[in-house]
């Protein structure tokens, strides 16, 4: 269970995005770093094209950004656990790695659907963002992002994709429901989109980057009045406090397997391509395997310049 919210239409920012990663606290994970999705045991180069955390079991990522301004955010679809032949993390890695600079996002989506025809994945929702070609005669130095949404609507289902709607470009949200089947009616999604609207509308013109960042992190801390007691209730809360969940996937674990919000991420990309990526631990396991709060004073902060590989139409 993960959740993310974004806006692509702020006058000063091509992207404002915040997300939570909810996962079993014991699942091996590498913190955000620059890499190229090489072998897990290999030493990643700081010159790698992708910035993201990595799932150390499957090798992919749930959210990341490339040096060229490509962004991917992956969530699962709530469903009974079952193993599938393909890893959902491959969907994000294949998009974030360098591509043909002349291809539009729509063309990439068409190719994406063709490449994955017949492949079987566990249920997923996938947000894909990429720098848009600058219209003729416009300022090619002003960054804008195109956006698309892909899903298989549940394990083993056929993959479909569509461009984001105007409303989703203004303020969008993604979690673990099924597109066009009440996904945006989940309490966590409705609350997050509404709060992001309020944040953006209430920001003063001279709002600092730090102020925007902390408001986004605050959005990600919202919890329902009644704490969830099983996975079916996780749709009611953005931040998931550690919950003991037993599944077929975790039944062989010798220790209690706690599930919760492991980390929060904020990504800001200005219209001039200046980018900020911050990853913050929320719930972790300490050296003794006990549940512990993350330390906000140990945020992983990355600043870099987006260098779009296509800026003209």
Domain boundaries defined on the chain? 2-305
The CATH number given to 2-305 is: 3.60.60.10
Note the pLDDT of residue 264.
98
Tokens of 181: 């089947």
Averaged pLDDT, groups of 10, the chain, 313 residues long: 94 98 95 92 75 92 96 92 83 90 88 88 95 72 93 90 97 89 85 97 92 98 89 91 74 69 98 98 93 94 88 44
Note the pLDDT of residue 313.
44
The two beta strands, 2-7 and 13-24, are: antiparallel
Distance (Å, rounded) from C-alpha 294 to C-alpha 273?
30
**Backbone dihedral region of 118: left (phi > 0), alpha (psi from -120 to 50 degrees) or beta?**
left
Note the pLDDT of residue 140.
61
Helices 105-115, 89-96: axis angle to 10 degrees equals: 140
Residue of 176, 121, 181 lying closest to 152 (CA atoms): 121
Note the pLDDT of residue 39.
85
Which helix (H) or strand (E) is 145 found in, with range?
A: strand 145-151
């Amino acid at each position: 269970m993960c959740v993310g919210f974004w806006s692509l239409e702020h006058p000063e920012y091509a992207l404002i995005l915040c997300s939570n990663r909810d996962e079993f606290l014991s699942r091996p994970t590498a913190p955000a770093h620059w890499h190229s999705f090489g072998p897990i045991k290999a030493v990643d180069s700081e010159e790698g094209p992708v910035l993201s955390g990595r799932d150390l079991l499957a090798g992919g990522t749930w959210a990341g950004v490339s040096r060229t301004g490509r962004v991917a955010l992956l969530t699962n679809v709530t469903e009974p656990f079952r193993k599938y032949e393909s890893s959902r993390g491959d969907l994000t890695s294949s998009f974030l790695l360098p591509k043909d600079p002349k291809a539009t996002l729509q063309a990439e989506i068409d190719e994406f659907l063709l490449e994955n025809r017949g492949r079987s994945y566990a249920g997923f929702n996938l947000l894909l963002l990429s720098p848009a070609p600058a219209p003729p005669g416009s300022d090619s130095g002003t960054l804008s992002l195109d956006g698309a949404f892909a899903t298989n609507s549940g394990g083993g289902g056929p993959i479909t994709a569509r461009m984001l709607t105007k409303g989703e470009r203004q303020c969008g949200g993604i979690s673990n429901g099924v597109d066009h089947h009440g996904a945006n009616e989940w309490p966590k999604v409705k609350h997050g989109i509404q709060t992001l609207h309020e944040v953006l509308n209430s920001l003063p013109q001279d709002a600092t980057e730090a102020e925007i960042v902390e408001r986004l992190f605050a959005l990600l801390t919202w919890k329902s009045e009644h704490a969830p007691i099983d996975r079916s209730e996780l749709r009611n809360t953005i931040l998931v406090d550690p919950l003991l969940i037993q599944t077929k996937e975790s039944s062989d674990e010798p220790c209690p397997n706690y599930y919760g919000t492991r980390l929060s991420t904020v990504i800001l990309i200005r219209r001039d391509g200046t980018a900020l990526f911050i990853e913050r631990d929320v719930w972790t396991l300490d050296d003794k395997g006990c549940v512990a709060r993350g330390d906000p004073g140990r945020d992983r902060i990355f600043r870099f310049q987006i260098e779009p590989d296509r800026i003209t139409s």
